[in-house]
């Protein structure tokens, strides 16, 4: 692999640990060099920054972030406050490292921008969602009531080296896992359905890097009733299932008359009834008598 072919993807959100003010990405090249040398059975070099908290730079780009900074800004003159589009630093909590009673999917630590790595562990950090303040540590494996156990650069690089490549398959065509080695190939996919989502999907890389804890926090799905799961899959299956089986399975929940109208396409169940019917339809579709009708 040429020295100009390494990728920043998955690490580019982090500050340069050797000089946080520098835009130089040569430290990522050193990481890749170690990964390749290790895979080839060659000795690797200590990078010297593995012990530091893994910190990235973000901007104040939403009202939610501004709201979490209210306590920090309180009582300060406007010139001294953190304002929209100012820079902040952000760290990444290790698995099981969240403070007690916090929601891992709604917890993200930020702090005023500071380019000195020696001060990162001493700073007070703010949870973007609650506005509560916490300390951070890189020792141990868990957090406590007031402290989060955050990832170090070493933790991030270990995850990076062994993360599965979801877009690729192994030599046998199976999806890649953390243990997959060798020449990879592109995975073959089959379209199962269409879902319309908003431009929030541009934030998927932030989910992958840990800046956003869950994909559910970024998706806005726009349902097209002409192409949703009920219309394209469940309703056609329902028409193949004998009415008496459906009535027996739905007894006390959905009336016989309602099931007749749904099978005939004269009515469409509301969301809760769709959720109720989905496992029933899928289960009945696997019975031998129904499978013969489907074949």
179-198 pLDDT tens trace:
888 888 988 887 777 777 76
pLDDT at 207: 53
Give residue 167's pLDDT: 84
Task: Give residues with Cβ within 8 angstroms of 198, minimum separation 6.
Answer: 219, 220, 221, 222
Can you give the pLDDT at residue 99? Answer: 94
| Structure token pair of residue 198 | 């908003």
Q: Which two tokens stand for residue 202?
A: 């541009």
pLDDT number for residue 289:
75
Per-residue pLDDT, averaged over 160-166, amounts to 84
Is the pLDDT confidence value at 68 over 90? no
Residue 233: pLDDT over 50: yes
**pLDDT tens-place string over residues 76-132:** 999 889 999 899 999 989 989 999 988 888 899 999 999 999 999 999 999 988 889
Give the H/E segment covering residue 185. strand 185-186
pLDDT for 215 equals 55
Query: Is 125 within 8 Å of 148 (Cβ atoms)?
Result: yes
Predicted confidence (pLDDT) per residue in 14-50, tens digit: 999 999 998 888 999 999 999 889 888 999 989 999 9
| Segment 238-258, tens digit of pLDDT | 999 999 999 999 988 899 999
**What confidence score (pLDDT) does residue 203 get?**
53
* Residue 295: band (very low, low, confident or very high) from pLDDT cuts 50, 70, 90: low
Distance of CA 200 to the CA centre of its chain: 13
Residue, of 242 and 211, whose pLDDT is higher: 242
pLDDT tens per residue, range 267-281 = 999 989 999 999 999
**Confidence at residue 1, expressed as pLDDT on a 0 to 100 scale:** 44
> Which DSSP string do the residues of 100-163 spell out, in sequence order?
TT--GGG--EEEE----GGGGGGS-EEETTT--EEEEESSSS---SSEEEBPBHHHHHHHHHH-
Strand partners, 133: 126
State the pLDDT at residue 2: 46
Q: What is the pLDDT of residues 198-209, one digit of tens each?
A: 655 445 445 554
**Cα–Cα dist 36/1, whole Å:** 9
Q: Does the pLDDT of residue 177 top 60, yes or no?
A: yes
- pLDDT at position 165: 82
**Which burial class, exposed, middle or buried, applies to 139 when counting CB atoms under 10 A from its CB (0-12, 13-18, 19+)?**
exposed
Flag whether pLDDT at 211 surpasses 60: no
Pairing of strands 185-186, 168-169: antiparallel
> Number of helices and strands (H, E) in the chain?
11, 10
Hey, what's the torsion of the CAs at 18, 143, 105, 174, to 10 degrees? 70
Residue-level pLDDT at 42: 93
Closest to 50 in 3D by CA, of 85, 87, 86, 18: 18
Most confident of 70-74, 191-195, 212-216: 70-74
- Given a contact cutoff of 8 angstroms between Cβ atoms, the answer to whether 28 and 56 are in contact is no
């Amino acid at each position: 692999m040429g020295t100009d072919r390494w990728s920043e993807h998955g690490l580019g959100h982090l500050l340069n640990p050797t000089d946080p003010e520098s835009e130089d990405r040569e430290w990522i090249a050193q990481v890749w060099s170690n990964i390749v040398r290790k895979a080839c059975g060659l000795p690797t070099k200590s990078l010297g920054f593995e012990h530091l908290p893994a910190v990235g730079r973000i901007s104040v780009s939403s009202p939610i972030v501004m709201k979490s900074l209210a306590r920090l800004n309180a009582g300060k003159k406007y010139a001294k406050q953190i304002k929209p589009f100012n820079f902040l630093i952000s760290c990444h909590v290790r698995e099981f490292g969240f403070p007690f009673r916090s929601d891992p999917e709604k917890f993200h630590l930020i702090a005023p921008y500071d380019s000195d790595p020696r001060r990162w562990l001493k700073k007070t950090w703010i949870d973007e969602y609650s506005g509560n303040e916490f300390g951070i540590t890189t020792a141990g494996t868990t957090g406590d009531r007031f402290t989060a156990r955050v990832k170090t650069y070493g933790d991030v690089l270990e995850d990076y080296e062994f993360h599965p490549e979801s877009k690729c398959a192994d030599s046998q065509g199976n999806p890649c896992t953390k243990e997959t080695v060798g020449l990879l190939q592109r995975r073959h996919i089959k379209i199962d359905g269409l879902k319309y989502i908003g431009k929030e999907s541009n934030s998927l890389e932030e989910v992958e890097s840990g800046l956003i804890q869950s994909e559910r926090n970024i998706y806005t799905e726009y349902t097209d009733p002409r192409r949703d799961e009920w219309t394209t899959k469940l309703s056609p299956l329902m028409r193949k299932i004998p009415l008496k089986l459906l009535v027996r399975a739905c007894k006390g929940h959905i009336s016989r008359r309602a099931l007749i109208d749904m099978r005939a396409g004269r009515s469409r169940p509301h969301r809760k009834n769709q959720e109720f019917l989905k496992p029933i339809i899928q289960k009945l579709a696997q019975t031998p008598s129904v499978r013969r009708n489907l074949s």
